[in-house]
Copies of this chain bind each other. A is one copy, B any other.
Amino acid sequence: MVSISMDRITLMHGAGGSLMHNLIQNHILRILKPYMEFEVPLAALDDAGICDGIVFTTDSYTVKPLFFNGGDIGRLAVSGTVNDIACIGGKPLALSLALVMEEGLSLNDLDRILDSIEHTCKEAGVDILTGDTKVVERGSLDRLIVNTSGIGVRNPLLDSNLRYVNRSIRWLLDSNLRAGDKIIISGSIADHGMAVLSAREGYGFASSICSDVRPLNRLIDRALEAGGVVCIKDPTRGGVANLLNEWAEKSHVGIMVYEDKIPIKESVRAAASFLGIDPLEVGNEGKVCIAATPDRAEHVLEAIRECDEGRDAEIIGEATDQFYAVAMRTIIGGTRIIIKPSGDPVPRIC
């Protein structure tokens, strides 16, 4: 048996919470010291970096299993990268596709995943521009890892949106939130993480829980058209709990959310409760949180509810200067602090 000491990587270092944050701060950002002035640098730890007007983002996908109810690794890769570009205020131009395959992967599975990539690209209105293919020996990998990076330019809708925001904002950064801003979620939480967990563990509720994975750039366009949007972020690893804590930390505000406003499907709530998992900490792949100025929030809500992917959207809370943490007014009337999770309770969801 091999013991894992604190000087080794653990699963929680990749789970999107405070341990991953520490790894990035104390190792990656401590050692990598950019000498160029980027508009949005690596150290901002936002959804994408920006340099010379080019929005640039990367994600490697290690989801297990490769296929799950509602999606697969290919749809996940395209959606995740498109969403990262769109969330910061970019219009996706093109993606890269780098495949690392385990010897023995069936060409039939590969074709299914490529079909899904092609279909999701068309849905999002992007294309694959460049690629790479590697193969490693059997036993060196769980079948397939996909990396999609993406490039984009400033979304032209961003300027008309920002005319409704009486502040100096150029991109939709995590640090843009101010007290009073309303927080909208585009639909029900925890669907993706619970669907992946179900597919992996073979729980009986697998069939009733379906991943939400999808590209959201069109929904984001509708929100920007409504005007008054200050930040957008997708609650992936670490879920809504992690997202709200990142916003609160980087924007130096408190956040209050209302439990009874947070959309969650009954099957997801029951499964999470059965497994003792907090759905606020579970990753999503087809939802965004949108912060908008108080006077525009209802317009934004209305606009995204008109899209199929936003029809269950709700205003779930607001930023405040009364305290500097994330808090939730519970259904039974109490208030609990939503701490930054150490990581997502479901590993390898993306």
Contact = CB atoms under 8 A, between A and B. Distances in A.
A9 B104 contact: yes
A193 B276 CA distance: 50
A272 interface: no
A27 B110 contact: yes
A264 interface: no
Contact of A33 (B12, B118, B350): B118
Nearest to A110: B27
A111 B31 contact: yes
A136 B62 contact: yes
B27 A111 contact: yes
A151 B153 CA distance: 13
Contact of A56 (B24, B103, B108, B129): B129
A7 interface: yes
A208 B137 CA distance: 28
Contact of A149 (B14, B96, B121, B134): B96
B27 A98 contact: no
A156 interface: no
Contact of A133 (B20, B52, B133, B147): B20
A94 interface: yes
Contact of A7 (B31, B107, B131, B350): B107
Interface stretch (A138-146, A225-233, A319-327): A138-146
A131 B31 CA distance: 14
Contacts of A24: 131, 133
Contacts of A159: none
A13 B59 contact: no
A186 interface: no
A194 to B, nearest CB: 20
Nearest to A140: B142
A134 B49 contact: no
12 contacts: A9-B102, A13-B135, A28-B97, A32-B114, A34-B129, A38-B94, A42-B131, A49-B129, A56-B94, A56-B149, A58-B98, A60-B145
Interface of A: 2, 4, 7-15, 20, 23-24, 27-28, 31-36, 38, 41-42, 48-52, 54, 56-62, 64, 93-94, 96-108, 110-111, 114-115, 117-118, 121-122, 127-138, 140-142, 145, 147, 149, 151, 153, 347-348, 350
Given A8-B106, A38-B94, A42-B131, 7 more contacts: A9-B101, A9-B102, A13-B133, A32-B97, A32-B121, A56-B130, A98-B147
